[in-house]
Copies of this chain bind each other. A is one copy, B any other.
Amino acid sequence: MGPGVVAHLVRLGVLSSTSGHASVVSINLFVALLCACIVLGHLLEENRWVNESITALIIGLCTGVVILLTTKGKSSHILVFSEDLFFIYLLPPIIFNAGFQVKKKRFFRNFMTITLFGAVGTMISFFTISIGAIAIFSRMNIGTLEVGDFLAIGAIFSATDSVCTLQVLNQDETPLLYSLVFGEGVVNDATSVVLFNALQHFDLNKIDVAVVLKFLGNFCYLFLSSTFLGVFAGLLSAYIIKKLYIGRHSTDREVALMMLMAYLSYMLAELSDLSGILTVFFCGIVMSHYTWHNVTESSRVTTKHAFATLSFIAETFLFLYVGMDALDIEKWKFASDSPGKSIGISSILLGLVLVGRAAFVFPLSFLSNLTKKADFEKITWRQQIVIWWAGLMRGAVSIALAYNKFTRSGHTQLHGNAIMITSTITVVLFSTMVFGMMTKPLIQFLLPASSHTVTSEPSSPKSLHSPLLASMQGSDLETASHSHIVRPSSLRMLLSKPTHTVHYYWRKFDDALMRPMFGGRGFVPFSPGSPTEQSIHWGR
């Protein structure tokens, strides 16, 4: 018997309020809007100002207005922002796909810089924004905000939106910037988790050396154990698929197993209070390095595109959701009596975000450049501006944290809390739309296409023109074609080119131990120009 009974049940009022007719209606609405976003995004593909996130945000805002008008302001509870939906369902596929498709070699080559930006940079940004907020807001009359609240504001607004970054930066056009800004975003998350938890647990009146040391230890534990969990899950999936040779019976089982084990790693990290984002990111990297090479050819094509599609749907949904939620009438009710003050606070916060990011991007880039010998490895002045700019967007993570901090335990009615919520939404909308719109033109202006290949390392042209397996084969081909640069020699080598040497020994270890056990490219010799490569790109 059929699902028509669902609608029937709804009419009878049997189901609870969270899952009734309203949910069927809102699922219909969201799915239809998602389709509209995809079609519009396709039509606006060549527009230099608008990207997919902004399209989704605007469509979400417009729909919100329509709903608000048709229901006369009563719709606020249908489309309320849910942290669960965000952290449990939308974020994992996005971050996993980012790890799965990232150019591994480039990511690890810049690993030190990424960690520096993500960990130290986020701290600097946090302190800058917190101190700025204390200095400015305490002189304004915006209700009862304590030191803890100001520090929370610092944490909320130092969380960059890695999802939006993925959309404005192009991995193929600006690979160095992509890996730096995106990698920073991932590490930024780990830092933010520790910061946020620390603010809840530590006594803020007694800050001494012991607290700071505990804090640092906590961070290292979180970073290492999250990474380990992700790597372990990836290797386990590679081992199972290689040993049991699951593709023998069913392609679908391979794909399902990869999908489920990646999600399991994320949820296990959540369960253990680790950073699920870091875990699933490294799980994606390991899976693309080992597991992906153990599955059948059709599973490879399927996983590559299915993961990208799921991530794409989740991203679009997210921006649609944020756009719609922004008009939730409840939040604006308490802040509406002082519109001038609300705008003032949002502007101040935006200014602090700009300053807070500048306060670490330029000094840390300078520090990072000091350690590099070769000119092409250094971060140029123009690239620094792009890094600064591309990380200015604040997104759903900021909103989720603001909700968590300022709507808890019935304090929503407080004037200060209400203003903080609406200001967060304003900052998120403004930064995503205005900063986001300006990013593409800014990159085109500062780094015109001709200079890309000069500033970034020369990449194999194949990776740009093979649409199907681009990033996978690209990264491997790259590895192969560049291996002649690295020559094993001596301690002097390690000191002068530490990353390259580490990479060389990693390759040796990988070939000797890891690949025989977990599979990977080493097992299936790849000959360029083989029938596979040509034919797999066939199509219309």
A interface list, Cβ under 8 A from B: 1-9, 12, 14-15, 18-19, 23-25, 27-28, 31-32, 34-35, 38-39, 41-43, 45, 82-84, 87-88, 91, 155-156, 159, 189-190, 192-193, 195-197, 200, 222, 240, 244, 246-247, 249-253, 255-257, 259-261, 263-264, 266-271, 273-278, 296-299, 301-302, 304-306, 308-309, 312-313, 316, 397-398, 400-401, 404, 408-409, 467-468, 524, 531-532, 534-540
Please pick, from B41, B192, B535, the residue contacting A2 in the complex, using a CB distance under 8 A: B192
Nearest 7 A-B pairs (CB), nearest first?
A535-B535, A1-B192, A297-B539, A2-B193, A302-B305, A4-B193, A3-B87
A2-B192, A196-B1, A276-B4 as given contacts; A246 in contact with B42, CB under 8 Å: yes
With known contacts A39-B240, A260-B31, A4–B197 Cβ distance under 8 A: yes
Contact of A3 with B309 at beta-carbon distance under 8 Å, contacts A257-B38, A260-B34 already known: no
Say whether A6 contacts B83, CB under 8 Å.
Answer: yes
Residue of B nearest to A97 (CB): B252
Question: From residue A45, how far is it (CB to closest CB) to chain B in Å?
Answer: 5
Oligomer: number of copies: 2
Contacts of A195 in B (CB 8 A): 1
A270 touches B1 (CB 8 A): no
A-B contact pairs, 16 of them (CB 8 A): A1-B189, A3-B270, A4-B275, A5-B197, A6-B88, A12-B408, A31-B260, A31-B264, A34-B256, A38-B260, A43-B244, A296-B540, A297-B468, A298-B468, A301-B305, A302-B306
Contact across chains for B538 and A32 when beta carbons are under 8 A apart? no
Give the dominant DSSP class at A's interface. helix
Asked if A6 and B84 make an inter-chain contact with CB atoms under 8 angstroms apart, the answer reads yes
* Minimum C-beta distance from A100 to chain B (A): 13
Docked CA distance A524–B538 (Å): 12
Q: A27-B267, A297-B536, A532-B535 are in contact. Are A275 and B305 (CB under 8 A)?
A: no
Instruction: Answer whether A4 and B313 are a contact pair too, CB < 8 Å, given A240-B39, A305-B251, A308-B252.
Output: no
Report the Cα distance A16→B493, complex, angstroms. 57
Q: A15-B84, A298-B468, A536-B298 are in contact. Are A196 and B257 (CB under 8 A)?
A: no
> B244 and A24: CB pair below 8 A?
no
A5-B196, A298-B539 known; A25-B260 Cβ under 8 A: no
Interchain nearest-CB distance for A320 vs B (Å): 12
CA of A252 to CA of B302 in the docked complex: distance in angstroms?
Answer: 11
